[in-house]
Amino acid sequence: MSLPSQARVLSALSIPDYLNGEADGSIRHEYIDGQVYAMAGGSARHNLIAVNAGSLLNTRLPETCEVFVADMKVRIHRIDDSRFYYPDVMVCCREDDKEACYRESLCLIIEVLSDAAYSDENGHPFRGKVGTHSEGKWAPIPREMGGAGIADSAG
């Protein structure tokens, strides 16, 4: 069977439909302006770094803070759309932010990056995803752990 010569345009998926699909599915997806994108799997090293960072934070932050590793989404409100992403590690310290499958008000986002992505002026795509959404910090960590940077979400 041959594929059509033109790609099919899919209609935008509603946020409730996206969240229901994520709850029922085994593959995680990011949601951007009504479109969903399957996420690639990570390496063992990537996972170990994220778990270690999350564990370290969990033992040192106040009990009112929640530390999530990999499987919790962050919802980012933009002027013209909403987006959902899965950061490697995220910290939320707001007691009024308690959705079952995502958080909106983060004080820290940690992303484990490949060496190439980290050396590219810390230009990981997540920085653009977060924008000025929260007052929190964004911390890229290189997989080779030569050091970690922390930047304001605004720049």
Q: What is the signed CA dihedral for 143, 146, 147, 152, rounded to 10 degrees?
A: -60
Domain ranges of the chain: 15-152
Distance (Å, whole) CA 80 – CA 85: 17
Give yes or no for a contact between 113 and 87, defined as CB atoms under 8 angstroms apart: no
CATH class of domain segment(s) 15-152: alpha beta
- pTM (2 d.p.): 0.73
pLDDT (tens digit, 0 to 9) for every residue of the chain, 155 residues total?
Answer: 443 444 344 568 899 999 998 888 788 888 888 888 888 777 888 889 899 999 999 999 999 999 999 889 999 887 777 889 898 999 999 999 989 999 998 889 888 876 655 544 444 445 555 544 455 676 767 666 544 555 544 44
Distance (Å, whole) CA 67 – CA 54: 6
Tokens of 35: 């479109």
